[in-house]
């Protein structure tokens, strides 16, 4: 038992309908350590994770899919930058799902995501994902309810396929308060070096905060299964968010316990000339 | 002028026909520092490179393509693991080119490579590349000479397109001696944890050492241009190889000098509610 074992994501029961207001978006009050200790731990985790990821790659049998979702400014990009730094880019790929292209819209909504799932031995990260099709699409009624309401089951079937064919799915909802989003958007306006991250359209989306929270509650509640669980990550403090996700991913790798594979043929004693 | 400025790749003139035996595969004799200092410098470079790569990504205008080629065991994978560690995987992608699939063979040889070039703001790494089509393909006569002999010009045209549309191309030939390859192959046979890297077919390829060296000499000589230069990296010592490539990439990023972009519209004074 280490003192960092307090850094845990919120989980909830399969089948349970959740309300996000019941989950804290900040660190526990009794946490007992701060930013500095967290950063140190994240660094140590990164070294251990890189070693385990190397074995996962050598083993070439299973994969990990990390799905990151959250409101604007929740920290999807920052999580990748801080938690995954240290990973070998050969076996770690990020796919950022943006507004679908015309060709993507000419296919079912899972088509572009299926193309991007990690290959054996690799860790894939979805920065936004197929869940956008029951989030932004639902909030803005981009398709009729009869269409989006069927997607939860389609998503569950898709994720079941992935998990039963060797992919461990880890879905993180980066949970922030409305006040945290306000501060972070304001920072993007006020700090020149952050201007490139600011999109005036984000302010319009912010007005739909409660509609988005409801859409998230539905997605989390309907698509939380043993083989593809959601974790609610308290994300008001970046250092705590990063620590929780780092601890979580390290545990996932430890549970997989990948091993260097045995040689397919016996070449002991062979001498290279 | 730092003492690490001695860690330079070999270069040669555009149009010059080179012989690999004229280039050392080890560090300079008067180097004056060793593994420990090199590792420290690579770590410091990684921090600076991550910061510049972030600006390149924010700028979203230009890209870098790093091509890694070399004989088996020359250290293409190791280079990526050690030099690129610290990069944000969001903007750094590795493509490992293996034996082409049937669908790839049904297209021209540049098709699969073109699909994999880095998008704006990103750093793409080719672990092996379109050069295999004038290396293994030439050595094993997988296509007639009339076909592969035209490919040098086709490659030059392809790289000219990339460089004139915003991609800085950096091509590294990881130069090792035949003795170094022997030691490293033997290690893969003798060390259990390295078995997964060993392919008995590598021994057959090793018998074709001089044919491969000749094919490399042709590729390097015919496809070395100002906009798409080859660098010959002394790679017998891993720490020196990594240092030279790290220094090279850092310089490429410094020369590009990417900047956070200006905001497209003026939103100064905007207050988020």
Q: What pLDDT, on the 0 to 100 scale, is given for residue A173?
A: 98
If you measure CA to CA, which chain B residue comes closest to A270? B189
Q: What pLDDT, on the 0 to 100 scale, is given for residue B259?
A: 97
What's the rounded mean pLDDT across residues A119-126? 98
Residues of B in contact with A261 (CB under 8 A): 195-196
* CB-based contact, B272 to chain A, within 8 Å: yes
Residue B158 lies in a domain: yes
Residues of A in contact with B77 (CB under 8 A): 90
Q: What's the pLDDT tens digit per position in B120-130? A: 999 999 999 99
Q: Please provide the average confidence, as pLDDT, over all residues in chain A.
A: 96
Q: What pLDDT, on the 0 to 100 scale, is given for residue B2?
A: 78
What's the rounded mean pLDDT across residues A85-101? 96
Residue A207 lies in a domain: yes
Which of A94, A182, A263 is nearest residue B198 as measured by Cβ atoms?
A263
Query: What torsion, rounded to 10 degrees, do the Cα atoms B17, B20, B23, B26 define?
Result: 160
Query: How big is chain A, counted in residues?
Result: 273
CB contact under 8 A, B80 and A90: yes
CB contact under 8 A, A267 and B189: yes
CA distance B271 to chain A (A): 7
Confidence band, pLDDT 50/70/90 cuts, at residue B6: confident
What's the rounded mean pLDDT across residues A121-132? 98
Say which residues have a Cβ less than 8 Å from residue A201's Cβ, sequence separation at least 6.
none
Residues of A in contact with B185 (CB under 8 A): 272
CB contact under 8 A, B186 and A272: yes
CB contact under 8 A, B198 and A267: yes
Residue B26 lies in a domain: yes
* CB-based contact, B84 to chain A, within 8 Å: yes
* CB-based contact, A262 to chain B, within 8 Å: yes
**Minimum mean pLDDT among A141-150, A189-198, B109-118: which range?**
A189-198
Q: What's the pLDDT tens digit per position in A134-154? A: 999 999 999 999 999 999 999
Which of A89, A198, A260 is nearest residue B263 as measured by Cβ atoms?
A198
Residue B261 lies in a domain: no
- Tell how far CA B40 is from the center of its chain: 22
User: Structural domain tally of chain A?
Assistant: 1
CATH of the domain at B28: 3.40.50.300
Q: Is the pLDDT of residue A1 over 80?
A: no
CB contact under 8 A, A85 and B88: yes
> Largest Cα–Cα distance in chain B?
71
Q: How many CB pairs under 8 A join A and B?
A: 101
CB contact under 8 A, B272 and A93: no
Other residues' Cβ atoms within 10 Å of the Cβ of residue B268: 10
CA distance A86 to chain B (A): 5
Which of B127, B261, B273 is nearest residue A90 as measured by Cβ atoms?
B127
For tokens 């972009």, the residue is B261
Other residues' Cβ atoms within 10 Å of the Cβ of residue A167: 21
Residues of A in contact with B242 (CB under 8 A): none
CB contact under 8 A, B272 and A90: no
Residue A249 lies in a domain: yes
E strand or H helix at A183: helix A178-190
Q: Is the pLDDT of residue A103 over 80?
A: yes
By residue range, what is the domain housing residue A159? 3-21+31-256
If you measure CA to CA, which chain B residue comes closest to A195? B263
Residue A273 lies in a domain: no
Give the best residue of B95, B201, B207, B270 to mutate against chain A (max A CB count within 10 A).
Answer: B270
Residues of A in contact with B58 (CB under 8 A): 196-197
Burial class (CB in 10 A: 0-12, 13-18, 19+), B2: exposed
Share above pLDDT 90 across residues of chain B, in percent, rounded to a whole number? 93
Residue A233 lies in a domain: yes
- Tell how far CA B69 is from the center of its chain: 6
* CB-based contact, B270 to chain A, within 8 Å: yes
Question: B62: closest CA among B150, B156, B144, B162?
Answer: B162
Q: What's the pLDDT tens digit per position in A206-242? A: 999 999 999 999 999 999 999 999 999 999 999 999 9
Spatial separation of the C-alpha atoms in residues A234 and B249, rounded to whole Å: 37
If you measure CA to CA, which chain B residue comes closest to A53? B81
Residue A107 lies in a domain: yes
Spatial separation of the C-alpha atoms in residues B244 and A91, rounded to whole Å: 23
Q: What pLDDT, on the 0 to 100 scale, is given for residue B1?
A: 58
């Amino acid at each position: 038992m280490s003192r960092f074992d307090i850094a845990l994501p919120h989980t909830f029961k399969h089948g349970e309908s959740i309300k996000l207001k019941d989950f804290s978006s900040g660190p526990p009050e009794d946490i007992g350590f701060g930013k500095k200790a967290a950063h140190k731990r994240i660094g140590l985790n990164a070294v251990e994770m890189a070693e385990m990821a190397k074995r996962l790659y050598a083993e070439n049998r299973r994969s990990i899919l990390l799905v990151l979702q959250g409101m604007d400014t929740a920290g999807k990009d920052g999580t990748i930058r801080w938690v995954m730094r240290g990973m070998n880019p050969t076996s770690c790929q990020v796919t950022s799902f943006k507004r679908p292209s015309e060709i993507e819209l000419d296919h079912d909504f899972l088509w572009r995501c299926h193309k991007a799932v990690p290959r054996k031995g690799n860790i894939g990260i979805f920065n936004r994902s197929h869940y956008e099709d029951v989030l932004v699409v639902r909030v803005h009624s981009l398709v009729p309810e009869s269409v989006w309401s069927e997607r939860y089951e389609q998503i569950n079937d898709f994720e079941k396929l992935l998990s039963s064919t060797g992919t461990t799915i880890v879905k993180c909802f980066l949970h922030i308060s409305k006040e945290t989003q306000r501060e972070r958007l304001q920072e993007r306006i006020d700090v020149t070096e952050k201007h490139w991250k600011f999109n005036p359209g984000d302010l319009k989306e912010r007005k739909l905060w409660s509609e988005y929270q409801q859409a998230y509650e539905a997605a989390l509640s309907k698509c939380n299964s043993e083989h593809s669980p959601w974790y609610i990550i308290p994300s008001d403090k970046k250092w705590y968010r990063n620590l929780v996700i780092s601890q979580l991913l390290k545990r996932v790798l430890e549970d997989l316990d990948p091993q260097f594979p045995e040689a397919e043929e016996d070449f002991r004693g062979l001498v290279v000339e």
